[in-house]
Structure 1
Amino acid sequence: MLKDSAVTSQPVRIGVTATARIARTVIPRINACGNATVVAIAGRSPDKLAEFSRLYGIPRTFQTAAELFADPNIDAVYIPQPPALHEEWVCAAAAAGKHILCEKPLGCNLAEADRMIAACRNAGVVLLDGVMWYHTERARRVRDLAASELGTLTQITSAFTFPGSKLPATDFRYQDSAGGGCLLDLGWYCVGAANLIYGCQPERVFATAQWQGAVDVHVNGVLWYPENRMASFECGFNAVKRRWLEITGTAAALVCDDFTRPWNDDRPRFWIHDAEGGATQHVVSHPPQEECMINAFCQLVHERQTDHVWLQLSRKTQAACDALLLSARSEAVVAVHGG
């Protein structure tokens, strides 16, 4: 994990490409972290642009992303659009010389992700996907203890679900053409966690799914890793809100009941369960995870690290998700290629 960035005298100037709902969460944290500031936002609705400008003190607004990309006083962009738009917008931003923080998943498939990665590498700009929890001190402690206190790792189990009935039917998560589906929206975190902890991608996978038209709304997956290690996960839009992770070894297990986002931002926590039934709680304080992600992004930008560990992790996760979707559609075990 990268060390925390020191606050610099030259904050990264960020433009936001849309007035999406997630932007309401991320923009205040960008401005609060000390390493970056939002200087512009683009959007189709003049009313929303005026609202965002007023609420978050954003000095410049644009009707199109192309205008935002052309602004020489913007160093980087945050892309909160649905997955189906990521390739087009990432490649356009890279061509304009902007560093890019892009919402997850990186793309709808590995081919798209690879084209984005190549465009950014050729332009010499940073690309980072928007998974926040990777960059927290709690994540670092989880990784350290998983490597040192649990014995030989054998199994990682996770679940990320929420009741999608609260979403409008027009939400991109229910639109195949927008890159919707629970695997890329929620399972991305579960698969990414296993890849992060094991330090590699799975060799083969199997998945089952419930479908709403062409969109996966509930997925159960099994992943086989080298050295006889396994992972399994559940994700979906049809269950109570859950976001838990268990890492099992031959000596102990680590349990986190909110790995993607702390239930209480003031007390990020997890437990070590020993072989005798004892449980030790660990509380790891750190800034809000949005700020941790922004700080990591800014450090990558200042160091111009265009081929970093997080991008490699994104690619491995994308490859595994490709195989999982193919498995869910074919009802067969599928080998993972390309990560």
Structure 2
Amino acid sequence: MGAGAPVPEPRGPGPRALARRRRRHSAARFWRAYRTRRSGMFGLALLVLLALLALTAPLTVGAEVRSVTRATGGPMEGPSGAFWLGTDQFGRDLCGLLVWGARVSLMVGLLAAVLSVAIGAVVGVTAGHFRGWYATVVMRVTDWFLVMPTLVLAIALATVLSRSLTTVVLAIGVTTWPTTARLVRAQTLAVESRPYIERARALGGGHGHVMSRHVLPNVMPLVLAQTTLGISGAILAEATLAFLGLGDPTVTSWGGMLQDAREAGAVSAGHWWYLVPPGIAIATVALAFTLCGRAVESVLNPRLGATG
């Protein structure tokens, strides 16, 4: 390089690096605010514990706990040192079944809630952006789903389709999205009334650019809060469908355990150890997700105030 050649100035971080840095800072601010919500931290601790139990079930209790031919206890034995929660009508350890059932209940609840929120977000964003006849037709369909009993629609779908976990996820997901669609559409209308949306359109931004770059990032906090709140409802819906005999009979879930207890006559026989643990597990995980969802909602929407 010659003596008279200009020295290049050091370049700063690129747009992608800046975007990643902003996301990290936003996540750090969110976590600092979330930690101040005691109820949210309590719900998160419960979820972490349940997730660890579900993930380690193949190592801690083993898949053979679900086998009828490998049962090691007698039918309907009460709680004891060998079987902490007693046994079912086949002699299987109910404690092991409860831990194994957490895998199915949590997975179905999470997938169904994600599907429901994804449908609601797409419908809400497009209806709020395009307006006109499209929004009118879509929102009338949404209103129809809102006035119809969700459980009845889910039962109808689960009855028509084959009995599997995929059917349960679809039945819950495609019947519980209207509330999210309504909320996301209202947020989309509020976002698109801001001046920078007009500037983006004036600079040549198309529909896809406006929705993906400007509208969607602003509605994502609402979508995240709806997801955490919807998981608890999805788990309760899965338990209800399984209790009604519309779940997958080849898998073990908490709702399926309640169905098996009903068929085995545990209610009339007073075998409380067969009924109470699955019910408490369903209520606990629903409470944990609700606490987390409320905490997330209060962090993302400061107008709700610090309620932790």
TM-score, reference length from structure 1: 0.24
> Greater share of strand residues, 1 or 2?
1
Bigger CA radius of gyration: 2
> Greater share of helix residues, 1 or 2?
2
Flag the structure with more relative contact order, 1 or 2, with Cα contacts below 8 A and sequence separation at least 6.
Answer: 2
